[in-house]
Structure 1
Amino acid sequence: MVKNALQAQLLKAGLVDNKKAKKLSKQAVHEKRTGESKEAEIKAKIEQDKLEKQAKDLAIEQAKKAQLQEKELNATIVQMINQHKIRNTDGEISYQFIDENKIKKIYINQQIYNALVAGSLVIAKENDGYAILPKALADRINSKMEGFILVNNSQSNDTATTDEEDPYAAYVIPDDLMW
């Protein structure tokens, strides 16, 4: 009852006995049956891995697109600042403001100083320096991306509220003190 020629030859040579031959044939049949189900599992696993890879690639692509869009927006804003900044602002009056938790100082003329204090002009961060811009442009820039406008005195004037119980409420402290 040997199923293939190799088993018959092994039996004749005395290398295996009848019991061992039956066991090997049963094992081969079992492997053949379970091998087919393993193929289906392997195919399903490959398909699942392929879907996961596609999802991962899509997420990476979307992240790259978002980074590229942010870079483009950043470049557009820098270009807007460069085109619309007010030139000829040099003067002998110093104006101090905070940038990244450090006090910075720029020297401007009296007209620009008055407009900054009044809130009609703002200070924006430009590449490695600072630019003075009209408030309307600053509002457009802030609507697109935060972080470029450093000084906007029109906002601080709007949000300044006094407490009714404050004994010094009648004494207004000006923002533009010159020392």
Structure 2
Amino acid sequence: MVKNALQAQLLKAGLVDNKKAKKLSKQAQHEQRTGQSNEAELKAKIEQDKQEKISKDQALNQEKQKVLDEKALKASIIQMIAQHKIKDTDGDVVYQFIDGTIKKIYLNQQIYNALVSGSLVIAKESDHYAFLPKALAERINEKMTGFIISTNAEKNEQVTDEEDPYAAYVIPDDLMW
């Protein structure tokens, strides 16, 4: 009846009686059975923790990758602005636009006319302003907003009322007083 050699020795020595040995063996069997079920629960918990860690790491990696992609996009837009900006724009004609506050820049007449007509736009280039063709500005705006400051294309497409008696007399945007 005794399954353990130690129990047999304790019985022979008279330290433990038969009832106590049976009770201990049953208790050991019970612990062994419940210990196995605890092992299964423990394995399931470890697997669940491992899956949670993997999903958390994936979320962190996606967030880091998103930040890196945004930085790369910003750098490519800044590079596009630097490569395609129109140089030699200094002149005597004043052009005013809004970038938080009203800004005033001096341009030559050709750049001024292009800005007023809407074929050129103003883009922010770090601390300065750059003048870009409208098509490039639209591509930049599709990728990321915040770089293009002023476009006159929307302002030139005014909707006129049919009953307006002065509809034939369009007031130009560049009217100087």
Instruction: Answer yes or no: same fold by TM over 0.5.
Output: yes
Structure 1, unaligned stretches of length 5 or more?
A: none
Q: 1:53-132 alignment to 2 at 5 Å?
A: 53-99=53-99, 101-132=100-131
Equivalent residue, structure 2, for 1:163: 161
Deviations 1:135-176 (A, max 9, x none): 122122223222211111123323x21234556645533211
Distance 1:6 1:154 in 2: 96
Distance 1:110 1:126 in 2: 22
- Structure 2 SS opposite 1:39: helix
Deviations 1:110-148 (A, max 9, x none): 221111000111000111211011112212222322221
RMSD: 3.0
The 3 A distance-change label for structure 1 pair 167 and 50 is farther
Moved more, 22-31 or 63-72: 22-31
Distance 2:21 2:163 in 1: 103
Deviation at 1:107, TM superposition (A): 1.8
Moved more, 44-53 or 17-26: 17-26
- Structure 2 SS opposite 1:124: strand
- Structure 2 SS opposite 1:59: helix
Distance 2:21 2:103 in 1: 91
Q: TM-score, normalised by structure 2?
A: 0.79
Equivalent residue, structure 2, for 1:173: 171
Structure 2, unaligned stretches of length 5 or more?
A: none
